[in-house]
Every structure is written in structure tokens, then in C-alpha cells.
Amino acid sequence: MGMPTLEKQIKDYVLTKCHQEKVGIASIDRYNSAPKGMHPTDFLPGCQSVIMFCTRLPDGAINAALRTYENRKFNVHGQYGLFGYVGAPNYNLLWASYRLARFVEQVTGEICMPMTAGPTHGAPMLSLRHSAVAAGLGQFGWHSIVLTPEFGPRNRFGGVLTTLKLKPDPMMDGKRLCDYEKCHICEKVCPTGAIPPYKVGQERIVDFGEGHEERYSGINWTKCKIACEGCYADFNYNGDYDLMDPIMEAPIDEEFSPTQHFRVKRENVYHNFIQHQTSWKCGNCLQYCPVGNWKERFHDTKVSSVNINQYIDNYPDVDMDTYDGEEDDRWLTRSR
């Protein structure tokens, strides 16, 4: 039995020593259409390969967010922010990136640059989402989050740039994980309508080369920020906006950003968090996405009582009880 390849040694190290769930390798040619300033060689001159890996988010952290939206227990939502979004997952990935970079440099003598795992530390970032897809770990969902077959969107990604030339993994082909022509879950559960319905010509297209393209929605990021910073009236110190109200049908002018009203005072406990943009305050598109055995993990276990099948075209209503929530949760089942 021969020595394992360098690629296998690296992957085994990521899975066993860095305690990550998945790992893949992207070749540099898959970034040929990257925007200016966002190519791996812009961060590491001479970069030949990008090693990407993912960590699964605990189901219990997702449960904390579901309790906010289904039971209005706002005091537990910070557990999602800490253990399901910007806190523990990012530090887990940062440590894994640092450890892997040191390992590969020691074994090969090549240069390795660990990538930051989120907007927590002020460092410029290569797109971890696009890199995860380029490394064959998953596909884009319509909500622009990367989906893996095992965990859906409920994972976070980290990576290492290296001058070492490695054999790339194939990109994920076959059946799409997200059928955005039929599934409207992320669109319907977004409290501010930031995720538009699928329409031919509206999608964003990313060309990874080798005939591989990925599509996702053109999200209205102003609306998304409103959901993240102003869904609850108690986040809004002057009470001018109550964005729990689902009646937000008209497009919001990109020049108008009510989020500025929520940034004037930072006295609320929800604002005391180590991240530039407090995007962990929402997350419905991640929490209710059916990919990654959502039904078995969250509905069958009674962690969630929302019938997400009602937002999938021509889906038979089996084994999913129709959600009979209180009026406070009416925006979860709104029609647009």
C-alpha cells in the first residue's frame, strides 16, 4: 500500500485534526470571471489552489432562531447569533484555517494564506460562498446561500489559499439542490420581501468555466438589512418603524435606507455584538430552507410547526401539518 497523496493527507487533516465536516479543492482557473480585486491572486500572488471546508451549524442553534419567529421568544435569538452565525462558527473556521495553513506550509514548504471566516475582523475577504462552490462542496440556492446536500444552507465555510498546485475536486453536477422555479420558501418567509420570485433574466449568473454556471437571485440588500436591523419594534429606539408588519409590497428605493435610524443609538442589548452588520438578527431564508433534511431535523422533531410545503408548487401536502400560528406570526405565511 503506497503513501497517500498530498491531497488526501490534507483532506484527512482537515476532517480529523481541524474537525470540519467537508473539504474540497478548487483550481485557480475556476476564478477566471472573478471581479477585479476578488481573484485569489489578488490576495496571494502565485496562488495555485484554494482549499475549502465547511462546519455544520448545530440544530439547536437553528432552534433558537425558530423560537424567535414562531414563539416570539426574542431573548433566545442571541444564541443563534453566537452559535449559528457570527460567533462560534467563525472562530471554529478561523482556527481551522490557521491550523491547516501551518500544516501545509510545514509539509510542503509552499506559502499558505488562511482566509478570514466572516466580517468580524475587518480583513478583506475572498468570497467564501463562490469558493465553496468552486471547490465542489455545494451549489447556490436561490437565496444566494451555498447549499450542501447534507446540511442545506446550515453550514459555514472557511478556506486557505496556497501556492501549492493540487488536483482540484470536480464541481457538483447532477440534480439541482434548489429548484427555484417551483420552490418559493425563501421568498415567502422573508419578512421584507428582499428575495424576489424567480424570473428568467432576473437571476445572477456566475461562470466557473468548464461549462459550469451557477444562478441565484438578485437580492435587494437594502430590504435584507431592514429585516436584519429592524424586524422588531424594540430594536428601533424611536418607534417610527414596525417592520414586523408584513405589508411591505412596494419596492423600497435603494437610496432610502431606514436602517440608518437603527444605527443612531446602540443601547439595545441586541446591538452589542462583534460584527459590522448584524445580519444574524434574521436568517429565515437559512432556517426554513428544505434542503439538508429540514423536514426530518426540524418538522418531524416538532422543533418547527411551520408547513413550508405550502410554498412549493404542486407539492403534495403529506406528513406536514398546516401551521396554525397566532396572529403575531402572520407574516410567516403571508402571500405576495
From first to last of its 336 residues, the chain has per-residue pLDDT tens of: 566 899 999 999 999 999 999 999 999 999 999 999 999 999 999 999 999 999 999 999 999 989 888 888 877 878 888 898 878 998 999 999 999 999 999 999 999 999 988 765 666 789 999 999 999 999 999 999 999 999 999 999 999 999 999 999 999 988 899 999 999 999 998 888 889 998 888 889 999 998 899 999 988 888 887 766 655 444 444 444 444 443 344 333 443 333 333 333 333 434 433 344 455 578 889 999 999 999 999 999 999 998 888 888 876 543 444 433 333 333 343 333
Please compute, for residue 109, the number of CA atoms within 13 A of its CA located in the half-sphere on the CB side.
0
Q: Tell me if 1 is assigned to some domain.
A: no
Cell numbers standing for residue 292:
439538508
Pick the closest to residue 52 from 29, 22, 30, 32 (CA basis).
22
Question: Which single residue is written with the C-alpha cell 467564501?
Answer: 128
Instruction: Note whether 288 and 306 are within 8 A (CB).
Output: yes
Give backbone dihedrals phi and psi of 221, rounded to 5 degrees, phi first: -70, -25
Beta bridge partners of 22: 54
3-class secondary-structure state, position 157 = strand
CA–CA distance from 226 to each of 8, 62, 77, 160, 248 (Å)? 44, 21, 17, 33, 11
- pLDDT in the model for residue 152: 96
CA–CA distance, 17 with 155 (Å, rounded to integer)? 19
3-class secondary-structure state, position 312 = strand
Range of the domain at 108: 6-333
Q: Tell me if 262 is assigned to some domain.
A: yes
Amino acid at 27: S
What does the CA dihedral 215, 219, 221, 225 come to, rounded to 10 degrees?
-110
Name the domain count of the chain. 1
- pLDDT in the model for residue 87: 85
Strands 146-147 and 139-140: antiparallel
Q: Tell me if 67 is assigned to some domain.
A: yes
- pLDDT in the model for residue 220: 86
The 10 Å Cβ neighbour count of residue 251 is 11
Q: Tell me if 29 is assigned to some domain.
A: yes
Q: Tell me if 171 is assigned to some domain.
A: yes
- pLDDT in the model for residue 326: 39
- pLDDT in the model for residue 229: 61
CA–CA distance, 23 with 6 (Å, rounded to integer)? 14
CA–CA distance, 324 with 164 (Å, rounded to integer)? 55
Q: Tell me if 12 is assigned to some domain.
A: yes
Q: Tell me if 224 is assigned to some domain.
A: yes
The 10 Å Cβ neighbour count of residue 264 is 8
What is the DSSP-derived secondary structure letter of residue 17? T
Q: Tell me if 27 is assigned to some domain.
A: yes
